[in-house]
Amino acid sequence: MTERKIALITGGSRGIGLACAKELAKAGCDIIINDICEAEKAQPALDEIKAFGVNAYFYRFDVSNDEEVQANVDKMIAEHGRIDVLLNNAGITKDGLFIRMDMEQWERVIKINLTSAYCVTHAVIKHMMKARQGSIINMSSVVGLHGNPGQANYSASKAGLVGLTKTLAKEFGSRNIRVNAVCPGFIQTAMTANLPNIEEYMKAIPMKRLGTPEDIAKTVKYLALDADYVSGQAIEVAGALII
């Protein structure tokens, strides 16, 4: 019997992260979810993942705090031996027009969305290097590729993830570590629940529906487990959205 792969998913207790956790669990991976929330709040997510007959674990830490990340990844490796798949998914928005965007608003989003990927990847990748295999997926966004008014901080952070993805794919390809980005369009989650001008966005989506977390999860599963020769790519999953 082959050993199960182990996938670490940041921000995995709800939304897109949880859908990805369930898709990878359905494919037979053991799952480690991280989140900033209390363990109690993440318990329903763990139960949903375990229903696929795999093991599921929760580690609470702030993905943008380098020391917390390092300590928790060390603990994961001590407890589970390895991490085969890393999905850098945790993210936030703090929208506003650039002219009114203050430094706190800028730095917070860059830290949680982009610096976090440095912290978690830096801690995990050395173990993947030793194992001479691994798949890393960064949750970017269509706005990181095309921009979006009111999201200068967010789109810069998501564009940064694309640059990081392509560079790491080149630095670690020889170690059999693949690095890709997924760029969702407008997906039905808490993050988009209160978008003010959703009708306007709908007009720009040729497929005439918002995406679901499961739409994103299928692409993540493909990149994580099936796409053996795909690396350095930023894949749009956006219903042909053009912005």
What is the C-alpha to C-alpha distance for residues 54 and 94, in angstroms, rounded to an integer? 36
Q: What distance in Å separates the CA atoms of residue 219 and residue 23, rounded to the nearest whole number?
A: 10
Closest distance of CB 16 from ligand NAP, Å: 4
Q: End-to-end distance of the chain based on CA atoms, in angstroms? A: 47
CA 101 – CA 156 distance, rounded (Å): 13
Nearer to ligand NAP, 122 or 132 (CB): 122
Q: Which of residues 154-173 bind ligand NAP (CB under 6 A)?
A: none
Site for ligand NAP contains 239 (CB under 6 A): no
| Shortest spacing between CB 187 and ligand NAP, in angstroms | 4
Q: How far is the CB of 122 from ligand NAP (least distance, A)?
A: 15
Binders in 67-126 for ligand NAP, by CB under 6 A: 89-92, 112
User: Active site includes 154?
Assistant: yes
Give CA–CA dist 231/134, Å, rounded: 11
Name the nearest CA neighbour of 204 among 125, 130, 114, 142.
Answer: 142
Quote the tokens at residue 15. 């939304």
State which of positions 117-146 bind ligand NAP (CB under 6 A).
Answer: 139, 141
The answer to whether residue 152 forms part of the interface with ligand NAP (CB under 6 A) is no
For ligand NAP, the binding residues (CB under 6 A) are 10-11, 13-17, 34-37, 62-64, 89-92, 112, 139, 141, 184, 186-187, 189-192
